[in-house]
């Protein structure tokens, strides 16, 4: 098999060279030779840990092989999948989920409440990327009813019901991650590590049957994926912004909206503290509210989207622009240098010397902004922001570092981070007083008791609608909040478009706003994909 794959890769390279000399006719012919119900895609990295939902597989996009209790539609509204319905107790501590009675795994065994309870218990034990620390217990009440008990009310627990694919208790062994089995729209056929994954439609799937009966996922670099597309060997590829201006015969560029955001996290407290590991905490310049507000107002976000992102992005004002829990009042009037100057002047920042740098007492308006050195987009954004703010009298020293170094620096220096999730719990993690200095969350040690209160009420809510109202107030309630209108602990810059080349005639259905670029978010509606007649 290895030799066959190697030969296929060689032929792929030769096809790419041939296509370069034969124009677009061969490219279209290559794609046309595939059966209409088969697809070849290169849309993201390989899941190194395999395809086990209890250790994180399927958190972004479709879990392919497994089904979830709930799901989100193209409007990000929660709908039932395996669940027939669910209820939450008045104290928010007990969640009862009733299952459909017509679901089978692809091995023809019925899916029951025992499988659900087993899955969540295994996920909790794994200690992987799924945070189930608040789940006190889970048990099957009967064959079609599952009861979850929480330690504390958590409205965002509903998102775990929509993220964790259910595995079969009878088949979940040591090799499950490399040979998954589930009740999802596709069943596993073959995985050649570092090269490809092959799946086929699951005829026992309880939902909408996929149009495509066989899909091959190629794992390759951006350059190789582009060559495959040009050679007619791929129907769909994900590309970075640098490749988006290419012309590929028989394919079109699709730019999808996302909350895959980039923003500057500011150290919120004054310098002088230390973490338990001895890393410095705080920065006297960014601890000044006037500095943070002025920066937010002076930045030209549209220029960043047009220039650094080549037009494939949009201004960002929060970590959740356009999502159901987003507060549109967080949008501010940016690129207003005169207003920014007035804010600084009112706060006592004055120009002194010939370099135009602002000072306040013995403090100069200067700080370091670090970014992951290998990320060219974050480098471009960092340099562009520094250029935009220099006329304001603020000097930013831009530095590319490894993630290991950034982890030691991030509590005392501004950092160009990227986030973006379909779960408002991310907002809690980024801004709660309880998460200060924990992992990568709230690295700036932001704290506001009013914001904490709103987020506590959001978590205690027993409906998503009620929770969203409190998430929105946490961002801005007219007086204070975690957004640029309030404490401005971040300067959110842009949301990246997710870019794909799609073969002519391939319809990807109605796509939702995509989350941060891990996984394969474009597959979230994979059963809707089809070829146009």
Q: pLDDT at position 12, please?
A: 43
- Mean pLDDT, residues 44-62: 91
Q: Cβ-count burial of 96 within 10 angstroms (0-12 exposed, 13-18 middle, 19+ buried)?
A: middle
pLDDT band, very low/low/confident/very high, at 449 (cuts 50, 70, 90): very high
Tens of pLDDT, residue by residue over 398-437, are 999 999 999 999 999 999 999 999 999 999 999 999 999 9
Q: pLDDT at position 1, please?
A: 38
Q: pLDDT at position 19, please?
A: 41
Tell me which residue of 54, 73, 66, 81 sits closest to 138, measured CA to CA. Answer: 54
Percent of the chain with pLDDT over 70: 93
Q: Check: CB of residue 495 under 8 Å from CB of residue 321.
A: yes
Q: For residue 32, is pLDDT > 90?
A: no
Which ranges of 23-88 does DSSP label H, i.e. alpha helix? 24-33
pTM: 0.90
Domains in the chain: boundaries: 66-177, 261-496
Q: pLDDT at position 3, please?
A: 37
Q: Check: CB of residue 286 under 8 Å from CB of residue 364.
A: no
Question: What kind of architecture, by CATH, is found in domain 261-496?
Answer: Roll (3.10)
Tell me which residue of 70, 69, 66 sits closest to 53, measured CA to CA. Answer: 66
pLDDT band, very low/low/confident/very high, at 131 (cuts 50, 70, 90): confident
Tens of pLDDT, residue by residue over 250-297, are 999 999 999 999 999 999 999 999 999 999 999 999 999 999 999 999
Question: What kind of architecture, by CATH, is found in domain 66-177?
Answer: 3-Layer(aba) Sandwich (3.40)
The larger pLDDT score, comparing residue 393 to residue 517, is at 393
pLDDT band, very low/low/confident/very high, at 442 (cuts 50, 70, 90): very high
Q: pLDDT at position 517, please?
A: 73
Q: Are strands 214-218 and 38-42 parallel, antiparallel or unpaired?
A: parallel
Q: Cα separation of 210 and 21, whole Å? A: 36
b/e map of 398-437 (b: 16 or more CB within 10 Å)? bebbeeeebbebbbbbbbbbbbbbbbbbbbbbbbbeebbb
Q: pLDDT at position 18, please?
A: 39
- Mean pLDDT, residues 85-103: 96
Q: pLDDT at position 446, please?
A: 98
Q: For residue 388, is pLDDT > 60?
A: yes
Tens of pLDDT, residue by residue over 136-181, are 999 999 999 999 999 999 999 999 999 999 999 999 999 999 999 9
Tens of pLDDT, residue by residue over 355-381, are 889 999 999 999 999 999 999 999 999
Q: pLDDT at position 129, please?
A: 67
Q: For residue 128, is pLDDT > 90?
A: no
Cα-Cα end-to-end distance for the chain: 35
pLDDT band, very low/low/confident/very high, at 29 (cuts 50, 70, 90): low
pLDDT band, very low/low/confident/very high, at 127 (cuts 50, 70, 90): confident
Strand partners, 500: 238, 254
- Mean pLDDT, residues 96-106: 97
Identical fold for domains 66-177 and 261-496, yes or no, is no
Q: Cβ-count burial of 342 within 10 angstroms (0-12 exposed, 13-18 middle, 19+ buried)?
A: middle
pLDDT band, very low/low/confident/very high, at 518 (cuts 50, 70, 90): confident
Tens of pLDDT, residue by residue over 299-352, are 999 999 999 999 999 999 999 999 999 999 999 989 999 999 999 999 999 998
Q: For residue 237, is pLDDT > 50?
A: yes
Q: pLDDT at position 214, please?
A: 98
Mean pLDDT for the chain overall: 93
Q: Check: CB of residue 323 under 8 Å from CB of residue 75.
A: no
- Mean pLDDT, residues 110-116: 98
Q: pLDDT at position 27, please?
A: 57
Q: How far does Cα 357 stand from its chain's mean position?
A: 37
């Amino acid at each position: 098999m290895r030799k066959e794959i190697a030969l296929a890769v060689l032929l792929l390279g030769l096809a790419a060279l041939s296509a370069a000399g034969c124009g677009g006719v061969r490219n279209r012919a290559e794609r046309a030779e595939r059966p209409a119900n088969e697809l070849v895609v290169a849309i993201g990295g390989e899941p190194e840990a395999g395809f086990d939902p209890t250790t994180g597989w399927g958190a972004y996009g479709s879990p392919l092989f497994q089904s979830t209790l709930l799901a989100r539609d193209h409007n990000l509204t929660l709908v039932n999948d395996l669940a027939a319905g669910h209820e939450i107790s008045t104290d928010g501590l007990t969640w009862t989920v009733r299952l459909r009675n017509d679901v089978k795994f692809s091995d023809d065994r019925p899916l029951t409440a025992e499988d659900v309870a087993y899955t969540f218990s295994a996920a909790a034990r794994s200690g992987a990327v799924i945070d189930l620390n608040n789940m006190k217990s889970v048990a099957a009440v009967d064959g079609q009813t599952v009861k979850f008990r929480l330690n504390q009310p958590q409205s965002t627990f509903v998102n775990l019901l929509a993220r964790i694919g259910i595995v079969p208790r009878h088949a979940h062994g040591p090799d499950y991650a490399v040979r998954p089995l589930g009740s999802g729209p596709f069943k596993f056929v073959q995985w050649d590590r570092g090269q490809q994954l092959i799946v086929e439609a699951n005829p026992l799937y309880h939902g909408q049957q996929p149009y495509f009966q066989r899909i091959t996922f190629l794992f390759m670099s951006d350059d190789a994926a582009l060559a495959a597309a040009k050679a007619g060997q791929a129907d769909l590829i994900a590309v970075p912004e640098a490749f988006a201006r290419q012309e590929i015969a028989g394919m079109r560029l699709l730019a999808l909206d996302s909350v895959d955001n980039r923003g500057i996290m500011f150290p919120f407290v004054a310098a002088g503290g230390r973490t338990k590991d001895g890393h410095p905490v705080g920065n006297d310049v960014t601890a000044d509210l006037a500095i943070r507000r002025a920066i937010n107002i002076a930045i030209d976000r549209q220029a960043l989207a047009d220039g650094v992102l080549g037009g494939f992005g949009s201004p960002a004002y929060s970590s959740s622009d356009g999502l159901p829990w987003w507060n549109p009042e967080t949008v501010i009037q940016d690129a207003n240098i005169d207003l920014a100057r007035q804010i600084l002047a009112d706060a006592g920042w004055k120009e002194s010397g010939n370099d135009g740098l602002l000072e306040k007492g013995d403090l100069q308006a200067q700080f370091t902004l670090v970014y992951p050195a290998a990320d060219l987009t974050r480098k471009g954004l960092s340099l562009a922001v520094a250029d935009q703010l220099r006329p304001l009298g603020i000097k930013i020293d831009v530095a590319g570092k490894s993630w290991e170094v950034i982890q030691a620096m991030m509590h005392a220096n501004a950092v160009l981070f990227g986030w973006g999730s379909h779960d408002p719990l991310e907002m809690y993690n980024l801004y709660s007083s309880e998460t200060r200095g924990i992992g990568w969350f709230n690295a700036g040690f932001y704290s506001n008791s009013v914001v904490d209160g709103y987020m506590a009420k959001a978590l205690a809510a027993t409906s998503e609608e009620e929770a969203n109202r409190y998430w929105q107030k946490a961002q801005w309630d007219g007086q204070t909040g975690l957004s640029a209108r309030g404490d401005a602990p971040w300067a959110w810059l842009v949301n990246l478009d997710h870019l794909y080349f799609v073969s002519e005639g391939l319809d990807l259905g109605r796509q939702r706003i995509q989350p941060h670029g891990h996984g394969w978010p474009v597959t979230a509606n994979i059963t809707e994909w089809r070829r146009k007649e």
